Structure 1
Amino acid sequence: MSDNGDEKAEDEGPAVELGEGEAVEGAPLARVASRLHYAIEKSEVERREGDTTIRTSDGPRDLGDVLAESDEVYFDTRQSFEKAVREVVGTGPVPTGE
């Protein structure tokens, strides 16, 4: 038996209760952003991830469509990529199934 608390954590169950509802369509923007290497051109993001559906407060959208609405052509950091996407899609809670 160890003193690091591993057994206690296992007995308590999950730290966050998972819902029973339908899965939300699309990937979180942070997940898509983490798959890219920066600095990167918008055209390269479109080539790699353009067909990826992301979650937005207005529902799922293809990243390629979102990037087409952005004037940015180059993302020097992950933050600049996420900012450009959020300027198009906004921020807010992602709708879930009923």
Structure 2
Amino acid sequence: MSDNGDEEGEADEEEPAVELGDGEPVEGAPVARVASRLHYAVEKSEIVRREGDTTIRTPDGPRELSAVLEESDEVYFDPRQSFVDAVREVVGTGPVPTTDE
């Protein structure tokens, strides 16, 4: 600890860059959260069995994961990123609407 004011700079770095908790609620789970609950490599049918009823966030509003995966031609996901990419290919990317929009 020095006397040159570094303590104030350290306090600024510890604060979050974005304020959280005061915005409108968003329905559904992020795709990354669902992806993190799975073990890879995994077949699409196994994902549907385990997580198919999970509602995920999409730019067009919440959707059930099983419906999204039905639209994908992929049947097997080796790395996690292949699953995330397949979901994003179907639902797209962009801002996710809040529940009041």
Write the mapping of 1:9-88 to structure 2, written as runs, cut at 5 A: 9=11, 14-88=16-90
TM superposition shift of 1:13: 5.8
Runs of 4+ off more than 2 Å: 12-16, 18-22
Give unmatched runs, 5+ long, in structure 1: none
Question: Secondary structure at 1:38's aligned position in 2?
Answer: coil
What is the count of residue pairs matched by the alignment? 93
Identity level (%): 79
> Helix, strand or coil for the counterpart of 1:46?
helix
CA distance in 2: counterparts of 1:25 and 1:86, whole angstroms: 17
How many Å apart are 1:20 and its aligned residue? 2.8
Q: Supply the AA of the counterpart residue of 2:24.
A: E
Larger radius of gyration: 2
Using the size of structure 1 for normalisation, the TM-score is: 0.82
